[in-house]
């Protein structure tokens, strides 16, 4: 009679090893850029609705650093992986001027990303590789972001991450795999296939983050697939509501037919406030009121020419708003399986 193997026992023996679960200073930095660029006024351990002038300035710097619409500075994780500091609590190599070769796009597959985001991240890496001045500004931004995180990280954040890490490691000893380990802590079923494949190849790492974004973030990096998630997932619904309030305020700018018509007009031809007032037969103060709302929603921008201000549609911001709305409401049906499969799924 042949020996009948226990399939469950075999699967445990054949596993390359349990994926590491470790704090990640790099993931904390990336999560902060993701949160700031998504319009969160609060991040990490700060209080809701009480952003400092410094954090608002940082948010604007993150928004302005790259011209593309890809959310977050995802290249942080690629560079951290290349430097060997993707996992761990010491970001020093990431905060120093690394050799240009670290930024080389070659060998960076980013299979987790939608095509547009993959191309944008590869282009960012290429620019950083060839432009030492840009690298210096990038490193300076990362240092300022880390200083923003550091007080909360040292006083409480790291302790919370370590507590979750220990709890999940304890589950590893009795669970059949990472998917089972994570069940009950967060909802990431949309990533089950990627997680299982990466785990079977021994290329998976888990990085709990104290910076709360309300999202699960999955990245395919040169040496590993890394899953980032909040240590406090029950706050996800609060973060989603906070984000929805921000998004709703911007979408509201499109809800008025006159404003929408003005945007359509400006998409075809830049114009001044006076020219728009004439075109739509409206009083200039009325047009100015509409424009205040459009500017607050960051949907238009103005350029001074010959003593007058010409306004035009900010195409990148409009596309970003529509993509953000699409991702929020239809995460599984958005282009290329979401605007950034790297992880824009709520926990």
Provide the residue-wise pLDDT of the chain in tens; the chain has 347 residues: 232 223 333 333 334 479 999 999 999 999 999 888 776 544 443 434 456 677 778 888 999 999 998 989 999 999 999 999 999 999 999 999 999 999 999 999 999 999 999 999 999 999 999 999 999 999 999 999 999 889 888 988 899 999 999 989 988 878 888 988 887 677 667 788 899 999 999 999 999 999 866 678 899 999 999 999 988 754 545 555 666 777 788 888 888 999 999 999 998 889 999 999 999 999 999 988 988 888 888 888 888 888 888 889 988 788 878 876 765 665 433 333 333 344 444 44
Q: State both tokens at 341.
A: 């499969």
Q: Which residues contact 332 (CB under 8 A, 6 or more apart)?
A: 190, 338
**Domain formed by 253-318, architecture:** Orthogonal Bundle (1.10)
Q: How many CB atoms lie within 10 A of CB 298?
A: 17
Q: How far is CA 191 from each of CA 126, 147, 173, 245, rounded to the nearest angstrom?
A: 29, 32, 22, 27
- Tell how far CA 197 is from the center of its chain: 23
Residue 216 backbone class (left: φ over 0; alpha: ψ -120 to 50; beta: rest): beta
**Separation of alpha carbons 152 and 42, rounded Å:** 13
Kindly compute the dihedral angle of the four CA atoms of residues 144, 148, 149, 151, in this order, to the nearest 10 degrees.
120
Partners of 313 in beta bridges: 300
In 3-state terms, what secondary structure has residue 174? coil
Q: What pLDDT does 105 receive?
A: 95
Angle at 75 between CA 74 and CA 76, to 5 degrees: 85
Give the pairing type, strands 225-230 and 204-209.
Answer: parallel
Q: What pLDDT does 339 receive?
A: 36
In 3-state terms, what secondary structure has residue 43? coil
Whose tokens are 């888990």? That residue is 206
Q: State both tokens at 17.
A: 């090893």
**With a threshold of 0.85, does the pTM exceed it?**
no
Composition of the chain by helix, strand, coil, percent to 5: 55, 10, 35
Domain limits, CATH 1.10.10.10, in the chain: 253-318
- Tell how far CA 232 is from the center of its chain: 18
């Amino acid at each position: 009679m042949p020996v009948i193997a226990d399939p469950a026992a075999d699967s445990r023996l054949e596993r390359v090893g349990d994926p590491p679960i470790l704090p990640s200073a790099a993931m904390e930095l990336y999560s902060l850029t993701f949160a700031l660029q998504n319009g969160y006024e609060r991040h990490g351990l700060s209080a809701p609705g009480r952003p400092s002038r410094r954090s608002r300035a940082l948010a604007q710097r993150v928004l302005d650093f790259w011209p593309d619409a890809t959310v977050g500075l995802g290249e942080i994780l690629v560079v951290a992986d290349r430097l060997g500091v993707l996992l761990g609590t010491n970001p020093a190599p990431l905060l120093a001027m690394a050799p240009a070769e670290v930024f080389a796009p070659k060998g960076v597959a980013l299979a987790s990303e939608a095509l547009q985001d993959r191309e944008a991240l590869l282009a960012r890496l290429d620019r950083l590789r060839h432009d030492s001045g840009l690298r210096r500004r990038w490193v300076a931004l990362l240092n300022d972001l880390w200083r923003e995180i550091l007080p909360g990280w040292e006083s409480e954040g790291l302790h919370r991450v370590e507590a979750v890490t220990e709890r999940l490691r304890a589950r590893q000893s009795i669970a059949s795999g990472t998917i089972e380990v994570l069940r009950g802590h967060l909802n990431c079923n949309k990533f089950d296939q990627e997680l299982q494949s990466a785990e079977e190849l021994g290329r998976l790492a888990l990085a709990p983050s104290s910076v709360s974004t309300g999202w699960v973030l999955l990245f395919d990096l040169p040496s590993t697939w890394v899953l980032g998630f909040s240590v406090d997932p029950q706050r996800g619904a609060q973060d989603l509501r906070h984000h929805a309030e921000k998004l709703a305020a911007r979408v509201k700018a499109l809800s008025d037919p006159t404003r929408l018509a003005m945007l359509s007009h400006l998409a075809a031809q830049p114009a001044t406030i006076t020219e728009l007032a004439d075109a739509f037969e409206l009083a200039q103060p009325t047009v100015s009121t509409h424009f205040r709302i459009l500017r607050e929603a960051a949907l238009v921008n103005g350029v001074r020419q010959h003593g007058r201000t010409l306004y035009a549609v900010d195409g990148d911001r409009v596309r970003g708003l529509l993509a953000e709305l699409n991702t929020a409401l239809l995460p599984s049906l958005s282009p290329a399986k979401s605007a950034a499969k790297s992880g824009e799924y709520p926990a």
